[in-house]
Every structure is written in C-alpha cells, then in structure tokens.
Amino acid sequence: MVESTCFHCGNDCDKNSINYDQKTFCCNGCKTVYDIFSNHDLSCYYDLQSAPGAIPKEIEGKYDYLDTPAIAEKLIEFDDDNTQIITLYIPHIHCSSCIWILENLHKLQPEISVSQVNFPKKTVRITFNNKSISLKEVVSLLSTIGYEPYISLEDYSTGAQQINRSLIYKLGIAGFAFGNVMFLSFPEYFEVSEFWLERYKHTFRWLMFAFSIPVVFYAAQEYFISAYKGLRSRILNIDIPIALGILALFMRSTIEIIFDWGTGFFDSLTGLVFFLLLGKFFQQRTYSFLSFERDYKSYFPIAVTRISKDNKKEKSIQVYDIKKGDRLLIRNRELIPVDCILIKGDAQIDYSFVTGEREPVVKQSGDKLFAGGKQMNAAIEIEAIKSVEQSYLTQLWSNDIFTSKASVSFTNLTDTISKYFTIVILSIAILATTFWIIVDATKAIHVFTAVLIIACPCALALARPFALGNILRIFGKHKFYLKNTDVIEQLAQIDSIIFDKTGTITTATSGAIQYHGMPLTPEEESLLKNTLRASNHPLSRKLYAILDQYDIMTLDDYQEYLGKGISGTLDQDHIKIGSSDFVGGTTITEKLNTSVHISANNTYKGHYSFHNQYRNGVQSIFEALSKDYELTILSGDNDGEKEYLTKFLPEETTLLFNQKPNNKLNYIKSLQQKNQKVVMVGDGLNDAGALKQSNVGIAISENVNVFSPACDAILDASKFDQISTYLTVSKNGIRIIKSSFVLSFIYNIIGLFFAVTGQLSPIIAAILMPLSSISVVLYVTLLTNISCKKISKST
C-alpha cells in the first residue's frame, strides 16, 4: 500500500484508512466531514489549503449544559426576540480554509445568518435565529465539522469584554493634527516678509493652535498622568521630562502667538506626540490568540452533569454550584472539577494539566481523585468531597501571589536613566536662565523654555519601544511569545534558571521503552502483541505501538485484572502481562521507573521499562547555560531519575525532588530574597505558582494553542534548545538600547547648544526633533535585526 495522508486532516493513514470518492481518509470522522462539505457545495474548503481539517471528536452529551438558560445567558452576547449572537473561541482555526468554511456556515445551516471570523483571536462570531435552532445545535454543528469551540469557566465569569481602542484614537488625532499643522506652518519656515504672509499668518497660527489643543489635552494625556503619578511616588520617570517638554512647547507657542512674537512650535509639539504614540503603538503588539493571564478557570468546564440521588436524573449544573456530597457524571475527555471519590467506572485520569505528565493514571472505585484530571476512558461517576474553590489544585490560587496585584514594580532601563536625565536637564535650564537674567533678562524666559523643549527626550523614549518591540516580533516568529517588552529586559538581567522536570525537559510524546530479561521467542512476542491489542491501558497501547507487526489472531481467552494486569491464552501458550506481583516474577529490586513485567507459561521472562524521554539538546543546553547561570531542577516526581540526571547534567546543577507546587514557589522566593533574578521554566498548572513568583515565568508548550498557565512568556517545545540563544539576544538588545542612548544624547547636546545660546528657532526644532527620532528608530531596528539573525541561523 502506498503511504498516504488523510485528505481531510493530513494525518498519516494506517491500515484502517477509508477510500471514498477517490480520496483517502484516516478515519470515519474525517470522511463524514468531507461528505457534509461536498454535499453542501463546500468542497472549495480543500482547494484553499490542502488537508486543513481536524478529526471531529465525540461530543455526545458534552454540551447538554448549553440548554440550561442560566448558563447560555452568560455566554450569549446579544439576545433579541429571535436573534442571538455568540462569540466562540475555536482553537483549530489556523488557515484561510478555516476562515472560509466558518464564514460559510449559513450554507450548512440556513438558520445561521452571519458568521464572522477573527483570525488573530481565533474566534468566530455567529448570529443565528434562536427560534429555529438552539445554541447547543450551533455548537454541535461546529463540532461535527471538526471545529469544536472551547468553552471554559473563564467565559462564564468574564462575559463580554471591552476592547480598548484609545491608543488608535490618540494616534489618529495626533497624526491628523501633525499633518495639518505642518502644512499651516510651512509658509513661515522661510521667514520671508511678504505681503500675503504678513496678512494671513495670524489666521494660520490660530488654526495651528486649534489643532494642537486636542493633541495636548487628549492624545498626550497619558504622559501627564504618568508624570504626575511618578512625582507622587517620588520616581523621576521618563514621562516627567516629556510632560514638561509638551507643556513648555504649548505654553510658549501660545504666548508667542498671542503677543505676535513668532509662529510658535506647534509643528514640533504635534510631531513629538505623534512619534511618541507611534512608539507606544509599536510596542503594544501582543499575541491576541495567546493569553498570559490564565488561571484554572480557563481549564475548567462551565458545567457538569449532576446525578440526582433520589431519581437518578441527570441535570447540568454550574461548577460553582457543586456541593460536597454531590454525585457527578464525568464523561470521556471531561475534566474533573473538584476533589472527589470515584464511585463507579474505570477511571484513567490524565493529570497533564496539573503536572505535565501525560501518562494516564488508573484509579479504582473508592480512590480519591484530584481536581484538574481528565478522564480518558468511558464515563465515571464521582462524589464531590469539596467545593471547587477548596480543592487541592484551586487552593494554590488563594496564595498571596495571585491575590495581590503586586506587579513587583519593575523599573525599566529608560526610567533608570531618566532619573539622572531629568536632574541634569533641570539644572542646565536653571543655570542657563540665571546666566541670561544677568546678561539679558528679556531672553531669560525664552532660554528656559527652549531648554525644556529641546531636551524633551523623544529619541530616548523611542529607542526602547522600537528595539524591544522589534525583538518581540522576531521572537514571536521563532515561536517564543512574550507577554510584553519588559520581559526582554528582565530576561537580560537573570542569573538563575529553574526547570521543572516532567513535561519541561522531558517530552510527553515518546517515552523510550527498553526490554530487560530473557529474549522472547517469536511465538511469545506474537501472543504478547495480540494480548496487548485487546487492552486499553495506556501502557499497553504504548507497548503495542513499538512491537513488530504480527498477524492478528483471535485469543482463546483474555482477561483483564483491574490494577494488576492482563492475561491471554492461545492454544497451549499462556501469557501474563502486568505488575511484578501479578506476573509472579522474582521481585527484583523494584526500580522507580514504570515497568511492565511479562511471564509466559508461568515462567518469568523479563520486563519492559518506560523511561522518560529527555528533549533533544537538553544536555548541551544545560552545559551552555551553566557557564553564566545557576541551574536548578525542581521536580514534583520521586527521585527515580536522580542518578541518571546527575550523570548527564553539569555538576553544579541543583536537583530537588518531591516538590509540591507550594514548595516550588517558596524555593523561588528564597532565591529572590538572596537578590537573585530567577527564570522559571515549567509547563503544568502545578508550576503556576512558581511561574508567577519568578521574575520571568516561561511556559513550555507542545502546542501553543493549547492552554498554558499564567506566565510571562510561552515557548514552543520544539524551540526548547534555543533558550540560550534567546537569552543572549535579549542581552544584546539591552546593549543596543544603551548605545542608542549615546546617539540621542549627542542630538540633545547639539539642541541644547542652540537652546542655551538663545537661538532656538522653530525651524531648528522642527528639523532636529524628527531627525533625532527617526535616526534612533532606524538605528535600533537595524541593529536588533542583525542581532536576531543568530536565531534564524541556528534553526
């Protein structure tokens, strides 16, 4: 058979592939979606992008809660008599085909009138007729075509969000005023006394004044507020000289035109504000499809199914309404929202949200289950023993670090410099003024304002946003997503790096499996494979996948012993697979590795052990980092791998095992008390506290569309080996900014010369200000681009 990929989802097709309509499909789900699309004339979906689809998941009963009006009400944005609008987050949106199909939903379901995709946010806004179809039907329709929306507890609590567009308004106003003022001030640049000019210049000047009013009082508002706040908390931030400059420009220009002394500096004033806002806009770039503020709410479902004790009726209830003692039904792939006791059913709990460990854990009835686990098997019944807020996992969020909004006031580079800058500028202004009072008192006030105007640190304020904004974008292209530009600066300062083990330096995808013991005969191996085929246990599936292909045979006897193992019989041969006790093997010194023991015909054969697979390049990364940073591994697991880790990691690495989420947080706190700047690299919700406490929390994610805990940066797992490059680039970035400060100081000195000698004319200001800003912006953009070449090269 020719190797082929699924026409719908692009996955590799194995033997079970389906041929239909001359196309190959990996599973029935994909075929069904294709069928739906081709029946509705939507096969164009496959022309825009090859294999754009996703396998539709089983959703039976999962969205029943959407029929509960109280829950649906919270999600729906707009509700008229017969029209409803809802915005749904769909993680699968990734290409133009997705946009196309989702905006053509009305062809599939005529009751949907409009659907509009926001691609960067991965949301679709659907308007539908709620008399004919319900919200639940809309969601199920999306799920059947492979676009299952993600609805979490977070949607429930936040509701409709307000988008802040004030920066765009401000930028628009400043740009509008800047352009017009430039036109109006142009005639006077040449200082020719001509009849027309003399006659109309007053009109021109007052028009410029009118244009600059909204710029000063609306667009530049933030600088005044920030300067005021800085003064009140006794910090001389960069906004103080900016605010002073703007104020000086506006006051002096107004006085000049009132007394007919000159044209004023309205052009420089509006230009300055426009450039400053542009810098802010450039820096503001965020990844709207990623969220850096997630807590457990974005992982948890909105509602669960409660089974009433008296009449066994199922009813959807809001998770916050779960009370101690409630009987709940958890379906396949649903999340357990509370700490509970398993009552009925086979539980295979995947705690990857919590620990990063993707190996499902098998539980039996009577066992305690913790909130945050995902059921991977058929539906189970549980009894809640706590409420949602009091569960083990959610309690972490009641720690001070989450409740206090204390963003440890981080003073960035420009603020550090501006402290000295402001003092120097003010003293120059005062000195120059006193000098001119003695020499020529009429000029004194001119010189004072001129110094404040020219010293306005436009270039200084622009260097950082443009340099860091550019690095931020380049990092984003290389799958390292930062929350904001401050993170780069903080990355450049760190001296200690802490790694979580499971899921961070180990991969979840492929564990190495090794066999120890007597070699198995082909017959035994064939029997082993066939016995494993019947089992759904995650370890069985893994082992099954690595064994060679054998013909499929029907077993004479197959038995599964819960929590112990499985056994199979064929003809005369009998095989037992499972724990050491069950197999009856010689109890060799039980290693802490997960292992599966095998015995055939009652003789012990050996065992397969499952190792954690470390990511590629872990060793070289640690080696490279250990030169400059203190490294620590904090693992929530037992110390089974300690020996191995000490062997292959640099000697100085500190290894700590059995760390609870709170231990991790406290460990970082203790390092910080020793004045260390700490980076935490983690992945699961159990690292959430540590990620928050650290100076920079980096979440490693196999798939950035899947959820990661609150952090400062999200790193795609495939780029794990690039960590040290990102750190060096951040450091270089800071160096580039510092060097650009030198450049802007030179401009300031030239400007100050004009100002102090009392010959600052509007035209000099109008040339010098944009010139300095633009050249500094070009300088930093160019240099950061060059320094980031390193990342592209090494990938």
Partner 1 sequence: MGVIYILLTISIIVAIVFFISFIIAVKNGQYDDVYTPSVRMLFDDEIVKDQNAKPSKTTKTKQS
Q: Where do contacts with partner 1 occur on this chain (CB under 8 A)?
A: 21-22, 41, 43-44, 46-48, 96, 99-100, 103, 116-121, 163, 165, 168-169, 172-173, 176, 179-180, 196, 200, 203, 207
Residue whose structure tokens are 């990929």: 5
Nearer to partner 1, 37 or 275 (CB): 37
Helix or strand holding residue 782 (H, E):
helix 762-794
| Helix, strand, coil % over all residues of the chain, rounded to 5 | 50, 20, 30
Nearer to partner 1, 200 or 561 (CB): 200
Min CB(341)–partner 1 separation in Å: 47
Which residue type occupies 354? V
Min CB(120)–partner 1 separation in Å: 5
Min CB(247)–partner 1 separation in Å: 25
Nearer to partner 1, 163 or 438 (CB): 163
Q: Are 241 and 456 in contact (CB under 8 A)?
A: yes
Nearer to partner 1, 175 or 372 (CB): 175
Q: Are 337 and 301 in contact (CB under 8 A)?
A: yes
Nearer to partner 1, 181 or 328 (CB): 181
Min CB(135)–partner 1 separation in Å: 23
Nearer to partner 1, 118 or 134 (CB): 118
Measured CA to CA, the distance from residue 286 to residue 247 in angstroms comes to 31
Min CB(766)–partner 1 separation in Å: 20
What Å distances lie between residue 407 and 42, 486, 758, CA to CA? 50, 12, 45
Nearer to partner 1, 100 or 657 (CB): 100
Which residue type occupies 403? T
Measured CA to CA, the distance from residue 465 to residue 488 in angstroms comes to 11
The token duo for 141 is: 């329709």
Min CB(33)–partner 1 separation in Å: 15
Nearer to partner 1, 123 or 316 (CB): 123
Nearer to partner 1, 100 or 402 (CB): 100
Nearer to partner 1, 13 or 734 (CB): 13
The token duo for 610 is: 């499952």
Min CB(150)–partner 1 separation in Å: 19
**Given the DSSP bridges, would you call strands 374-375 and 480-482 parallel, antiparallel or unpaired?**
unpaired
Q: Are 580 and 590 in contact (CB under 8 A)?
A: yes
Q: What secondary structure does DSSP assign to 434-486, as a single string?
A: HHHHHH-HHHHHHHHHHHHHHH--HHHHHHHHHHHHHHHHHHHHTTEEESSTH
Any idea what the Cα angle at residue 214 is, between residues 209 and 216, rounded to 5°?
A: 80
Min CB(103)–partner 1 separation in Å: 7
Is 22 buried (19+), middle (13-18) or exposed (0-12) by CB count in 10 A?
exposed
Min CB(105)–partner 1 separation in Å: 14
Of 137, 163, 155, 160, nearest in space to 67 by CA: 137
Min CB(776)–partner 1 separation in Å: 27
Nearer to partner 1, 51 or 341 (CB): 51
Tell me the three state secondary structure of residue 493.
helix
Tell me the three state secondary structure of residue 640.
helix
Min CB(54)–partner 1 separation in Å: 19
Min CB(158)–partner 1 separation in Å: 17
Min CB(641)–partner 1 separation in Å: 44
Min CB(1)–partner 1 separation in Å: 19
The token duo for 164 is: 């802040």
Cβ within 8 Å of residue 390, ≥6 positions away: 339
583: left (phi over 0), alpha (psi -120 to 50) or beta: alpha
The token duo for 297 is: 């709410």
Which residue type occupies 770? P
Nearer to partner 1, 37 or 622 (CB): 37
CA dihedral 659, 661, 665, 671 (to 10 degrees): 10
Tell me the three state secondary structure of residue 560.
strand
Q: Are 689 and 448 in contact (CB under 8 A)?
A: no
Measured CA to CA, the distance from residue 675 to residue 62 in angstroms comes to 49
Min CB(714)–partner 1 separation in Å: 20
Nearer to partner 1, 117 or 272 (CB): 117
DSSP 191: -
Min CB(398)–partner 1 separation in Å: 35
584: left (phi over 0), alpha (psi -120 to 50) or beta: left
Cβ within 8 Å of residue 790, ≥6 positions away: 725, 728, 729
Nearer to partner 1, 206 or 410 (CB): 206
CA-based end-to-end distance of the chain: 35
Nearer to partner 1, 163 or 742 (CB): 163
The token duo for 135 is: 């919200």
Nearer to partner 1, 282 or 779 (CB): 282
Beta bridge partners of 497: 631, 679
Nearer to partner 1, 53 or 565 (CB): 53
Q: How many residues does the chain have?
A: 795
The token duo for 702 is: 């196999």
DSSP 130: T
Min CB(222)–partner 1 separation in Å: 17
Nearer to partner 1, 121 or 229 (CB): 121
Of 513, 525, 521, nearest in space to 550 by CA: 525
Backbone torsions φ then ψ of 789, nearest 5 degrees: -55, -30
Min CB(180)–partner 1 separation in Å: 6
